[in-house]
Structure 1
Amino acid sequence: MPTYRDEGVVLRTHQLGEADRIVTLLTREHGKVRAVAKGVRRTSSRFGARLEPFMVADLQLAVGRSLDIVTQAVTLGAYAPVIVADYRAYTAAAAMVETADRLTDEDASRQQYLLLVGALRSLARSEHDPSLTLDSYLLRALSIAGWAPSFGDCAVTGEPGPHRAFVPQLGGMVSDQAAPPGALRIDAATLGLLTALLTGDWAAADASPSGVRTRASGAVAGYVQWHLERGLRSLEHVDRGAQ
């Protein structure tokens, strides 16, 4: 049975039989992989705790007919225990891995893997407010997938911004002439935060006030829900806190 090695982050798991578990992984080189981890639900398992959601591991897998088999797992990023202990970080991480699961397949780019691992690491280290980390991840993940929002020029006409109408189905900010009736209007501060989250300007993002963060989160949620077509179940449960 041929084997291969790769790094992977655990997106989700579900039980198989009495002792096994099916693990869905986003890997560095092989895209999304579904594999069986045998015996990991036994208390004597050598690597059961290494294959929980949000964990990053160096894996050895054997190629199977329908599902590969995890034969070895060495922890690279033990993010799960820290994230799970913080409810706000946990709800943000749950939305991240659900998004990654929805956006990727076996041909997923390495960029998606690196982005998710970096976001989970940031959550575990409490580098930024969990809501900011989540919104930045969502915007960047969609951009890698080919749905980069326009926060400058009009997404329809290309007219230079800034603009005030935000229309997810049209690709982001649009001019007044291109905006449909009832389009969401975004103030300059919120637009500035959205741009900072997309470009990684953390000094500006961390300095943003709570009201601006709330408005930006609403715009990001609308953009994500539109492009993923079906709503993210976990996004409804994200604890935004006081932001």
Structure 2
Amino acid sequence: MQEQISVTGMILKAEPVGEYDRRVVILTRERGKIAAFARGARKQGSRLLASTNPFCFGQFRLYEGRSAYGITETSISNYFEGFRENFEAACYGMYFLEMMDYYTRENSDEKEMLKLLYQSLRALLHKGLSNRLIRYIFEIKALSINGEYPGLPGREQPYLPGAVYAVNFIVDSSIEKLYTFNVTEQVLSELSEISDIYRKRFMDRKMKSLEILSEIQC
């Protein structure tokens, strides 16, 4: 009998395999990013049908195969169902998932990245926060956690004090405190500029979800 393990994580993406199976990528607390197969998950009535979709967060019971894991059981604590009623927030959420799939690695310590992803998705469903601000906080903090934050980009005109304070707060604060502030439209514009510079410098591929976001915001 194959030995099984239990991991806590979130499904970053899911794709069909064969007639009834599904392959998922899970960002886990214990083993970083892993690929797993859910046999029969696309069959009507399967107990894995609802729990192997993007955004599902909870516990996954796995057995380890030669090249991937297999899912035997799930216990989902948050489906992030609010995204079904908020298309724009869902687009931001898909971008966050895609970015985490890009940034994280197997067998790496990704606990902070998983925590950032979870808290950022929760923030998107909080009506008092700007989705744009959440995005820039998420992007800058992900760079910082990944050890790639180089300091503020240089430019001829100094950044607004509010923008400098906001970036320093994002980099230095715990993830639990990230989404506790708002900024003016001018500061938000500068955060957008800073985040764009970082993204173009450190990410070597275009995100499909980001292209969709750009289209709906035109």
TM-score, normalised with respect to structure 2? 0.85
- Give the Cα–Cα distance (whole angstroms) in 2 for the partners of residues 234 and 10 of structure 1: 16
Alignment of 1:104-119 (within 5 A): 104-109=104-109, 110-119=111-120
- Give the Cα–Cα distance (whole angstroms) in 2 for the partners of residues 241 and 45 of structure 1: 35
**How far has the Cα of 1:201 moved from its partner?**
5.7
Q: Secondary structure at the match of 1:116?
A: helix
- Give the Cα–Cα distance (whole angstroms) in 1 for the partners of residues 136 and 79 of structure 2: 23
- Give the Cα–Cα distance (whole angstroms) in 1 for the partners of residues 216 and 150 of structure 2: 26
| Relative contact order higher in (CA < 8 Å, ≥ 6 apart) | 2
- Give the Cα–Cα distance (whole angstroms) in 1 for the partners of residues 178 and 105 of structure 2: 29
Q: Which region of structure 1 is more displaced relative to structure 2, 26-35 or 40-49? A: 40-49
**How far has the Cα of 1:103 moved from its partner?**
0.8
Q: Which amino acid aligns with 2:34?
A: V
C-alpha contact (below 8 Å) 1:57/1:74 kept by paired residues:
yes
Aligned to 1:144: 145
Aligned to 1:218: 193
Aligned to 1:169: none
Q: Which runs of 5+ in 2 are unaligned?
A: none
- The 1:36/1:18 distance shift into structure 2, 3 A limit, reads same
Q: Secondary structure at the match of 2:205?
A: coil
Q: Which amino acid aligns with 2:160?
A: D
C-alpha contact (below 8 Å) 1:50/1:57 kept by paired residues:
no
Q: Which amino acid aligns with 1:82?
A: G
**How far has the Cα of 1:62 moved from its partner?**
0.8
- Give the Cα–Cα distance (whole angstroms) in 2 for the partners of residues 223 and 129 of structure 1: 20
Root-mean-square deviation over aligned CA pairs? 2.4
- The 1:57/1:111 distance shift into structure 2, 3 A limit, reads same
Q: Deviations over 1:17-47 (max 9, x none)?
A: 1111100000011110100011111121112
Q: Which region of structure 1 is more displaced relative to structure 2, 1-10 or 186-195? A: 186-195
**How far has the Cα of 1:185 moved from its partner?**
5.9
Count of residues paired in the alignment:
211
Q: Deviations over 1:102-125 (max 9, x none)?
A: 111113321111111121222234
Q: Deviations over 1:54-100 (max 9, x none)?
A: 11021100101111101001111121x21232122112111111111
C-alpha contact (below 8 Å) 2:36/2:69 kept by paired residues:
yes
Q: Secondary structure at the match of 1:50?
A: coil
C-alpha contact (below 8 Å) 2:137/2:178 kept by paired residues:
no
- The 1:236/1:210 distance shift into structure 2, 3 A limit, reads farther
Aligned to 1:92: 92
TM-score, normalised with respect to structure 1? 0.77
Alignment of 1:9-24 (within 5 A): 9-24=10-25
Q: Which amino acid aligns with 2:69?
A: D
| Structure of larger gyration radius | 1
- Give the Cα–Cα distance (whole angstroms) in 1 for the partners of residues 166 and 42 of structure 2: 43
Alignment of 1:176-215 (within 5 A): 186-198=159-171, 199=173, 200=177, 202-203=179-180, 205-206=181-182, 208-215=183-190
Q: Secondary structure at the match of 2:36?
A: strand
Q: Which region of structure 1 is more displaced relative to structure 2, 98-107 or 221-230? A: 221-230
- Give the Cα–Cα distance (whole angstroms) in 1 for the partners of residues 85 and 7 of structure 2: 28
- Give the Cα–Cα distance (whole angstroms) in 1 for the partners of residues 126 and 134 of structure 2: 11
C-alpha contact (below 8 Å) 2:9/2:57 kept by paired residues:
yes
Q: Secondary structure at the match of 2:50?
A: helix
Aligned to 1:238: 213
